[in-house]
Amino acid sequence: MRRSAAPGANRRIVWGPVIGFGLVSLAADVVSDGARPLAGPLLAQLGASALLVGLVTGAAEAAAQGLRLLFGPWADRTRRYWSFTLAGYGLTAVCVPLLALAPLAGAAGLVLASVLIIGDRVGKAVRSPAKTVLLAAVAKPVGRGRGFAVHKSLDLVGALLGPVLVAAVLAVTGNLSAAFAVLSLPAVAAMFLLFRLRRRVPDPGARQPSGAADGGPGAAAVEPAPAGVPGRPAPVFTGRFVLFAVAAFFWSAGLVAFGVISFHLTTAAAVPVAVVPLLYAGAMAAAALGALASGVLYDRSGASVLLTLPLLIAAVPVLALAPAAGLAFAGVLVWGTATGIQDSTVKALVADLVPEQRQGTAYGVFAAFEGAGALAGGALYGVLYEDRPLLIVAVAVLQLLAIAVLAVALRRTRSR
């Protein structure tokens, strides 16, 4: 009797693509998240006010989320998920190192920096729905909660290493341009890894053009569409999905962009610029732990684990924008934990709510709600930055609304 492949070999087969996507995200996040904590100090150095920092960083997050409404359905229509993934990572690999030129551009430096900061996040919008469809397909055999959590943890290793790298460069040179320029090295590494992975993982549309399982490798990773009208695509806008998206708008409106936090740390809490990337690295470590814990709980207990997310977000302005550096540091860790849950377990839920052939559209629509919330939140924090008690109350109200809508959505999910 012929023996089957060893269990270790099977684990390598099913986990290999998940780890591969994680390594790409690791390298890309060294780039993107290495630059992210320096956005506020860079804009401040170029003459920006707190309101402008809030608007630019809020607009960047809004672009990262909202533009997925365009690129998600576009990827679904063309089924060319890899094309969008490559283009999005390429945009980040170009925009972030070019930030090194902003301090050297004179009067145009503020405009250039703003465009490039937003351009980096546009790259995320281009790639994220398509990349997440690819990841959802390869992660299903290992459990989507665990698969997304492991991927996010590797992603967050890069988000931790990037700030450490730029902090080291700043400590040696004291030059923001040098810190941005060194990020060109991991940018090249990310694109190299991505092109290697491209040869191993096909587009879901190429693997399964007719929507029926082909029985080949990876076929089990594609969800069948729910029953519906023959010849029509399965619906995305179910009641449960819309409720989760509305809840995402409210929690995103309360989750401040790190650019505002870093602006506060350097201008109000007297934290040296070189220390800010290290604090961001600590936030990413907290995000990795939050992603892993929530991913395991999601696979075991379901989406109710997400009820913790609005509670964490409500605590962020209380702590992160405090005048005392110690409280602000604690707020950075809470912010990181919330970010880890939002960027991993939330995506696993979306993948489980809709069939594979509509996931690009679903991620785009869901991210549009998050992006609208991020833009509203950027303006909210910018306008109310000088009135902290009112800002804290406004964020608390938004999170109470998020909990109420999320509870209704979870009740519908359990009843179904």
Rounded mean pLDDT, 295-315: 87
Q: Residue 152's pLDDT is what?
A: 76
Q: What is the pLDDT of residues 263-286, one digit of tens each?
A: 888 888 888 888 888 888 888 889
DSSP string, 76-114: HHHT-HHHHHHHHHHHHHHHHHHGGGGGGSGGGHHHHHH
- The answer to whether 41 touches 274, Cβ cutoff 8 Å, is no
Residue 65: pLDDT over 80 = no
CA 218 to chain centre: 25
Does residue 215 surpass a pLDDT of 60? Answer: no
- pLDDT value at 136 more than 50: yes
Q: What is the pLDDT of residue 178?
A: 93
Dist CA 119 CA 173 (whole Å) = 26
Residue 11, pLDDT score: 62
217 pLDDT band (50/70/90 cuts)?
very low
Distance CA 73, CA 35 (A): 29
| pLDDT, mean of residues 60-88 | 86
Q: What confidence tier does 331 reach under pLDDT thresholds 50, 70, 90? A: very high
- Nearest residue to 155 (alpha-carbon basis) of 241, 32, 45, 35: 32
Query: Are 367 and 129 a contacting pair, CB within 8 Å?
Result: yes
Domains and CATH numbers, the chain: 15-204+236-415 (1.20.1250.20)
Contacts of residue 301, defined as CB under 8 A and 6 or more positions apart, other chains included, come to none
Give the pLDDT of residue 249.
Answer: 93
Straight-line distance from the first to the last Cα atom of the chain, in angstroms, rounded to the nearest whole number: 44
Task: Considering only residues 206 and 121, tell me which one the structure prediction assigns the higher pLDDT.
Answer: 121
Please tell me the predicted confidence (pLDDT) of residue 116: 95
The pLDDT of residue 228 is 45
Contact 176, 45 (CB under 8 A): yes
- The residue with greater pLDDT, 75 or 219, is 75
- Residue 368, both tokens: 């549009």
Instruction: Choose from 14-23, 34-43, 151-160, 181-190 the range with maximum mean pLDDT.
Output: 181-190
pLDDT, averaged across the chain: 82
pLDDT of residue 333: 94
pLDDT at 97: 94
- The structure tokens listed for 303 are 């989406």
Is the confidence at residue 360, as pLDDT, over 60?
yes
The whole-model pTM stands at: 0.66
Judge whether 150 and 18 are in contact, CB under 8 Å.
yes
Q: What is the mean pLDDT of residues 321-340?
A: 90
pLDDT tops 90 at residue 411: no
